[in-house]
Structure 1
Amino acid sequence: MRLKKWWSILLLFPTMAIAQDKFTISGNISSVEGQKMVVLSYLDNHGKEMRDTSLLHGGKFSFNGFTAYANRAHLALEPLKRDTTRRRVYDVKEFYLAKGNYTVTGSDGKMSAAEISGTQVQEEFKEYRSKMDPVTNAWIKLTDEYSEAVKEKDSLTIQKLRKEAPGLRQKLDDTMNGFIYSHPDSYLSVDLVYFYRTGTIEPATFDPLFNALNPALLQSFTGKKLVTTYDNAKQLFAGKTVDFTQMDEEGKPFKLSSLRGQYVLVDFWASWCKPCRAENPNLLKAYQDLKDQNFTIVSVSLDESKAGWLYAVKQDGLPWKQVCNMTGFKTGIAVDYGISAIPQNVLVDPDGKVVAKNLRGENLTEQVKKYIK
């Protein structure tokens, strides 16, 4: 019986063991000036952030270690002794680290221009960059031109760029989404969905991307975060009952369910968020127009500074209930509801159920009216 028991325990080991994907990196950066080292930033096989260094010898360096799955990593070229009197210049190359052997080749003493190859996910990353970079550069050029036009008060250029922006923004989204759909078995696709598509999760646009991913990839470090964020965000979907407790301006606990019987627009914002502050006049108008029709607003701030939060409330003249737990995006309500970008809001009916999400704009009053019975 004892032998049988130990055999049963041993059979569990494969499922209990932590993945250990070994990697090696061999590099050569020519024409490096001065004494420098290479710094590798990556996730180890426990998902812990790690930093390792390798001294350059004749331009050559190497690393070896363990990771798991495939994760974003960085190689940086840094001086052995930093000159604190001069502005720090970052020379960094992003890549994807997974099990396997990597080679890094660079010239002109720059890591940022180095070529990194060695694994399938790294080749996928290079393919993604080749498709995305031209569109991203076009977007950066447009935003720079817009900033300059605003500075020069060039109304014709401002109007022209405003017309061009939506199409280019759509091209950015289409390029990224196209890569995800064409690479459902790539860990890179999981990263793209998690880092760029969870800011505002709407079933109609998010579900197709999420469902396209190979379920096996969701066991990775990023995959598990993605699943948790999605599960939490579902709590704000239409038909879900919402309730929470936050501290108000006077430091007293406020419970959302205390407003049952009213339509409540729960607005997530922060004092430092420019789009949030720009939306506050629309919220104020809707409040003034509808406050006598069984409607109110609760603003949930994701500030970490009480002074900044209260100053913005006073400056913007917001007369409805204001709450904040001073935890930002790190804990509390942001994590509980999968909120990683603001502004966001949900309209809750008298029973505490979500009936609409992300209503905003100059016609906010009319949008809210459609749901008030």
Structure 2
Amino acid sequence: MSVDATRFSPELQRYADLDQRLLAAVKGIRILPTVAWPASLEDRMIAAYAKGQFTLPEVQYHVPDLSAERAELAAIEREAGYDDPLGEYLCRTAESWRIAAEMLEAVGTDQVTAPSIVLYGRPGDKIPGSDRSNLDAARYFVELSDELGSDLIADDVNVAISAEALRADLSKTLDDFFGEPMISVEVDPELTAKAAAGATRIRLRGGTRFTDYDRHQLLAHEALVHSLTALNGRAQPLLASFARTSPRVTATQEGLAVFAELMSGAIDISRLKRISLRILAIDMALGGADFVEVYKFFSDCGQNPADSFHSAQRVFRGVPLTGGAAFAKDNVYLSGLLTVHTFFRWALKQRRMDMLRNLFAGKLALHDVISLQPYFESGVIAAPRWLPPWMQHAHGLAGKLAFSLFVNRIHMGKVQAETLSLSL
């Protein structure tokens, strides 16, 4: 997307030009495709593991040469500077892409681990505003899920939705929401994840059966956050990079997407358990567990052979399978959720609903929404055209957050069942 030079001052145009250079520089930096495993390898290994035949998979990676991209990104960092919020945004974004390039050039070695932790965090990192860690939260949700699982009556969940049927259903729903065909939904038999979303395309893994919860989660998480923010980013008049998920915004974007599941009722305790188990698995791998040990961990926690293999594979993307290394991206889902939830509560307390809406203006980190506020107010950065349904009803959202703000002051350690029964 080019910027009309007549609309902006020379300084703003300079940032727009640097932004275009940044987009050109990162075009060949493809993080997940570089560390992905072939679907054919997965199929063979899943069949073997289901029979109890455990060997470490043999994965070959193509190591890219991104030296030219790294040099250009370093130059953009120098030229953008930190004197202005727009320059700071460009510096932070270019730096994260440069770190990602260094990570990909080490693919297949344990040198992937350190930069992945810089980009995505470590399980032991503290949660903002708390003395507890992401690892503590993961353990809590796993334990809670295990306690509730045997007591809760199973929901009436349709588990027989084919990828093709879901494709048709999502296509119609999204066309109705956006008012025109903005996002295509496709079935991809080579897709490793169950689903993936870009600005104008959602892919579903072929041959997979989906549940009603899957459908709700795809709408809330993939379509109405990941695709929606990309489309809003494409409409930005100054910074076209708002449409591209840079490594530094991954935690916010994934956290916002899981928060959307929470707000729209598209998440269940089993989903929280799956997210949490991945964090425990990353911690295991960093502590020395190999691929087979991590696979058995997921299996022992109730996942079937295919899901256990895919979960372990996510932890070991791009790194040796013998233990002591990990690809840390799955750390961001829970830490991002907790941080985004805290940000929403903070913004409500500050009576800044505008900041919450601006979070959907593109692929932004929470820091950007705060630091770029003057440019939102001036119109240099456009307000989002589309908002998820749960964000369109500000009073309902405020009610949920206001309630959570108050009830979080209640100390559960002081609550007695007898007191509750006598008070009603």
TM-score bracket relative to the smaller structure? under 0.3
Structure number with higher relative contact order (C-alpha < 8 Å, ≥ 6 residues apart)? 2
TM-score (structure 2 length as normaliser): 0.23
**Rg comparison, structure with higher value:** 1
Q: 1 or 2, which has the higher strand percentage?
A: 1
Q: 1 or 2, which has the higher helix percentage?
A: 2
TM-score (structure 1 length as normaliser): 0.25
